Amino acid sequence: MAAISQLRDLLRPPDDVKFVLEATLVTSSESSNSNPTQDTRNRRLLAAVAHKDDWNLTEEGCLLVCKFKPGLNGQAEELEIQKVFPIYGQFSIVISQMRRGTVNLQPALLEQPRSVITLSVNPAEGLPNDAQAPMLFTYDVQGLKNLVAECKRLKEACDVEANAVVNLASSTTYFSWVRPYLEKSSTIASLTTMVQDLRLINKPLIERLSPACAGTTGDDHADLQLIRDDWVRVNARRMATKGRRSLTLRVGTFNVNGKMPSQDLSAWIQGSAGGTAAASTTKRDSIATLLPPVKTVSPFSLREFIPNPFDWVAPKTPGEEKGLEEEESLPRRVDVSDPDDPDMLVLGFQELDLSTEALLYSTRTTREDAWTLAVFAALGEKAVKYEKLVSKQLVGMLLIVMVKKSLKSCFGDVRTTAIGAGILGVMGNKGGTAVRLTFTPPGSSTTAESEKASESSTPLGSTLLTFVNAHLAAFDEMAEKRNADFQDLSKRLLFESSNSAGESEGSEQAAEGGVGSGNDGSMFSRPFSVYEADVLFWMVRLAFVPPAVTGEYADDGRILRDEERENASKFEALLRFDQLKKAMKENKAFVDFREHPITHMPSYRFSPGLMMDSLGYDLKRKPAWTDRILSMCSPLCRLDQVSYTSHSEIVMSDHRPVSAEFSLTVDEYDTESLQFNIRQLFQDMDHLDGDGTHSRGSLKIEDTYVDFEKISYGSRVERKVVVTNTSKAPCAFRFVPVQLDNPIHPEWLDINRMMGVLLPNESTHITLTAHVDDEIAAMLNQRSSDLSGTLILHTVLGKDHFISVSAEYQYTCFANKLSRLTRLRGPIRSMESPHALLPENHAMNAPREIMRVINWMMSNSTNTEEMFLQPRDDKMVANIRECLDTGAEFPYAPDSQDPKIPLAFATTLLQFLDSLVDPVIPASLHAQCVEMTNRDEAFELLDALPPVSVNVWISLTAFLHFLCQGTKAELHAEKIATVFAPILLRDDPASLNPPISPNRKRKFLLSEPLPPGPRKLPLLENLLDMPTSHEWFTFAEWGKKYGDIMSVSVFGQHMVILNSAKHAVEMLEKRSSIYSDRPIMQMGGEMVGWKNTLVLVPYGERFRNYRKMFHQVIGTPSAMSAYHPIEEIETKRFLQRILAQPDDLAAHIRRTAGAIILRISHGYTVEEKEDPFVTLADEATEQFALSTAPGGFLVNLIPPLQYVPSWFPGAGFKKTAAEWAKTLSEMADEPYQYVKRQMAYGSAEPSFISRFLESGDVSPEEEFDIKWSAASLYSGGADTTVSAIYALFLAALLHPDAANKAREEMDRVIGMERLPTFADREKLPYTNALALEVLRWHCVTPTGVPHRVTEDNVYNGYFIPKGALIIPNIWYMAHDPNVYKDPFAFNPERFLGSAPEQDPRDICFGFGRRICPGRVLADASLFISCAMTLAVFDITKHESADGIVDEPKQEQTTGTISHLKPFKCNIVPRSQKVAALINAED
């Protein structure tokens, strides 16, 4: 009878089944039309079980009520013990004839036997008041008689006193053998079929045992069951395994942000181009070679095969386990014919549908179908190999499983589930979907094995795979909500068992009434957790991102954009604050999950257009690794991850898809062999608890005293303890602590085999290893050198054994604090106690150990080029360390020529510094170190360091400087800095700030500081110091305090300010190849659009095209001479306008400047009244000055402000930018279109534009350059000239003597008969000098336009970092008292004579390759305006009608282009003759 065989698998030896009876439970539903005998839910098996005790020759019995359950994975039905009735006391079976109406007499039932007997079981302790025993009925009258007779015999054999009640949970006298059946003990059936919870079995077995300590045992019975079950399960599986198969999976996750597929997904589905699949196969094959070998073993050879059956307990890493067999067996691919492509594709999608309809209710599969189709399309020609096995969608979460068609038959028992975590926990787009399935390896690939397999119907064992696709709460501040959602999903994501759908247990439970002692019957009927699997994959979209950080890393994207930092360093810096890692570490979520090291860029958040940075990330959000793939694997399988990457080429969403490839190695075994092995191993472990033999396990320890003698830093000492099982039964042991809250062993000692099982007369070696590393030495240096202690070896269900260990610790100067070393009275080894230190006020300046090593190397090292860079002799290092600890002399002669000796000293110094408890420079000061810019800040840093650190720092850096100066090896200093930087500036893993990049640490040791400047505030740096108006005055004051080269920084943007023309020439001209770029000015350049003009166009091809065109037209005096007639004509018209309307001076100047530029650039003659083009130019250039002024707009300092909404408070600049952008666009386009129309009509005058358009063959790119270069000439030339000429009138008004000298010169040289021309310039030195003085006296561009350095540079002892802005303070250069005598006086004579002062044209037009290309034109315009104006007009102070004289002042406006504030003056012709000359026609 199959039922008896199954029942025996549930029993523990020596329990025996005497009689069984099949019966049916009578429930309240029996009045229905169903046939109760055919309902498996009501079928029961009653069994009389006897237990004989061979020791005291007693016999006890119980009645087991077992329930039939459908088998897992399509296997035969199984039994479970539902209730246990010990047979004693009031136990009885009540029999009666079934009432006529009890059974429904349908035709199908008439064939049943007519004799129907009911029975009920009364428990030994009697029925509670008003309780009724559950009723069953049976047709097997003879079987019932046998059962009742056996129960009667067992009751008579029982010697429990009458009216006694046995407490089965605690009794050790009666029925103790029943307890395992009450406690749901493991059985052969459960060990064969039941999958364990991954969260449990992945914990070391020692951690799963009950708490215990010396003298206080834990739950030894439960511990024994755990030990036995794990031992049996692992070894039975190992013995049943015939081989191994390798299944490959490609798992992907993609948050599609509500988008439909619009791109090729092949990079995600198949991997990157270039044969990723093949490469993955190669990697998988290489991994396979590391797998441990397997050998088929008979269960009868167990003792020979496993000398110690508990070897598997010791944790092993992949590739570390040593095979017990000599021949290796590699796993075979599941699909040998197609090894390059994955066997399974598992894809998780999030935010598939963001519509309101989907959030509430939707059953449409439109989006699922679209994405499924896109996946097949991405497979290309390989699509024919695959088919969709199953999918599950919940709102925006979709999980698709695809398998190769050739392997579809290998997958079965497919189940799905889904649960929401959104609104009310059931709705919204947060939650999870899951798929559960089994994989059974296909038949053997060899012919012989195939034939053998075909002859046997034994089913192969299956591996259970579970896949979860989850979407958790967003935003980094919702970390706790995410953790709670994860825990909720872990509880509520359940798969219904195959027999539980639609099944109600309520009536059954009511019928059985809970009478008697036993299980609750839920072992097989309950739902399955997602963790009850052999392998679990979890694809999740979450917002686990680095929290807000300060200082250098306030912008996480900045770390990613750091081109000088390796990706591994970038990721390490950011992942230190990854909330997923933190949650795992704090046991709040994804505990014991594994994730492959992240080596790809963050997958979120990307943004199109202007809102992204250079890497494509959204400037408003922090980049984050939000799309993750994690896994858990049973110890019975092996899961190797081959790849883990994101796919930046798929850009349809704000996320990037992530994929991972896995190789899953599973055992190839048959279930019958497994069951047979389990049965045999159960028998081997039968008396592990001593029952039946009455022989408890007894251990003998050969030597209970272990002496390690002296242990020292960096050494390992091993001792072995032999343990023997001297009893006749298997024995389990474990180490326990002395007290519950103590560790099992001291930190300096490791125990190899913390627990184990020994068969009778078997021995094993337990290895004790003493070791001292930095962390342990740091603790032992503070304690007594006597390390004596006791280890407790507990025999489970037996006594404790005490093993005494002793060791004498040798104190070391390594792994101490610098402050402690300075308080040592002598060598550390001579200390009487760890607390025998000098008082703090008598401490030494620096540790003697460091000074000894440094002094020896400075005095005796000859081969300095290899020190710190070449391998060392470890024995020599140990000798040097011993001398430092003991104070002994170094055993190396000063004149020794052995090159290994200095290398050993160098290594000792490095190891010493690296072992310090605290680094020389604390982690809290690292940011201050790399931001240090001047001498004052250096002293501030030293003040912040502990005194001992200062002394060590000075001594060490002096030695390193000496070392680097003594060698000519290339890049030697850089190499030394690379070695020392991570040691002297060691990171603190517990710090809340990201670590400084290794490159910046190295530069701190190497490079000169930044130029000095005002002290920086945390985070804001110099933001509050930046002037908002007339910045050149502030820069000049800073220059007096900090020098001609000084610097400030705002939010990481360095600005170097030059207050000396000498430095400007050296940097901006002589190093122009790296100092000629322009900054990105958010307001003027990006938002308004001035980046298209020459002044702000980035250094590159377009910039060179612009300058080339300028140079051809107006770049030289000879080229400019062609336009002198235009200058003279328009300036004469300017005189005429002043003569007619002298009060409109500013308007006349603007019209004239615009007229000259427009004639040259566009061949356009301005109108006498309000000219639209001139008006546009005036407006645009005024806006340029305001939009580019340093400190003028906060958005220039904080670029992300450009993305704030227009309605946001303080965002009025966005409206201003939009208006100014429109003005600039019109200024560039309208005059350009005018020229094109004139050229089309054939009436265009020669001009800058017509010259380059007349060829007719102009590309759109060339046309763009022509239009905007002309606009640059038009806008730049007009406004700067206006400012200079207006200053001429104020200079003539305030300094009439200088103006009169110019008039006298012109009267003498030219006379009064004509106006001056360019031909007269060489004859008018004073007039020319006056024009130069005007240029110097009033700087049109006081700070110029900033340059940007394109690579790191060192100038004049200062480090100029890449990306720094270089701002020349032209105003101060033109008023530098070291260059110009009495700089604030207006004195044209300074440019005359034999020793003229510096020509201001060398300063005022800029520097290097960014010098103003229209400087020749500007110079000409200023000279001709100066000469003609002073030749014909007298300029005097304005006097009001009441006789009050207006006293004008030299007051400038703020802006890149600075104008004088309006003033009043009287402008009158010098004579009537002159007036006539002005109006005379040419």
As annotated, the binding site includes: 1412
Mention every residue, 6+ apart, whose C-beta is less than 8 A from residue 1290: 1338, 1448, 1450, 1460, 1463, 1465
Question: Which pairing describes strands 1053-1058 and 699-701: parallel, antiparallel, or unpaired?
Answer: unpaired
CA atoms within 13 A on the CB side of 403: 18
CB of 619 closer than 8 Å to CB of 613? yes
Long-range contacts at 739-742 (CB < 8 A, ≥ 24 apart):
739/213, 739/214, 740/211, 740/212, 740/213, 740/216, 742/213
Q: How many CB atoms lie within 10 A of CB 321?
A: 16
* Nearest C-alpha neighbor of 453 from the set 664, 669, 294: 669
| Distance of alpha carbon 347 from alpha carbon 251, whole angstroms | 6
Beta-bridge partner residues of 400? 347, 391
| Distance of alpha carbon 523 from alpha carbon 69, whole angstroms | 10
* Nearest C-alpha neighbor of 575 from the set 593, 549, 551, 552: 549
| Distance of alpha carbon 6 from alpha carbon 641, whole angstroms | 40
CB of 1224 closer than 8 Å to CB of 1089? yes
Distance in Å from the first CA to the final CA of the chain: 132
Q: How far is CA 1303 from CA 1308, 1323, 1337, in A?
A: 8, 13, 20
Helix locations, 1056-1163, DSSP H: 1061-1064, 1101-1114, 1117-1120, 1124-1140, 1145-1162
| Distance of alpha carbon 768 from alpha carbon 763, whole angstroms | 16
| Distance of alpha carbon 1291 from alpha carbon 1074, whole angstroms | 39
Please give the single-letter amino acid code of residue 1121: S
Report the binding-site residues for heme: 1412
* Nearest C-alpha neighbor of 1355 from the set 1021, 1004, 1058: 1058
| Distance of alpha carbon 568 from alpha carbon 985, whole angstroms | 19
Mention every residue, 6+ apart, whose C-beta is less than 8 A from residue 935: 1009, 1012
Q: DSSP class of residue 549? A: -
Helix locations, 923-1017, DSSP H: 926-930, 935-944, 947-965, 972-984, 998-1006
| Distance of alpha carbon 1400 from alpha carbon 1337, whole angstroms | 9
User: Distance between alpha carbon 185 and the CA centroid of its chain, in Å?
Assistant: 45
| Distance of alpha carbon 812 from alpha carbon 802, whole angstroms | 31
Give the angle 278-270-335 at the CA atoms, nearest 5°.
55
| Distance of alpha carbon 1276 from alpha carbon 1177, whole angstroms | 9
CA atoms within 13 A on the CB side of 1356: 18
CA atoms within 13 A on the CB side of 527: 15
Rounded to a whole number of angstroms, the CA Rg of the chain reads 46
| Two tokens, residue 366 | 């439109």
Query: For 402-443, what is the HEC assignment?
Result: EEEHHHHHHEEEEEEEEEECCHHHCCCCCEEEEEEEEECCCC
| Two tokens, residue 57 | 């020759």
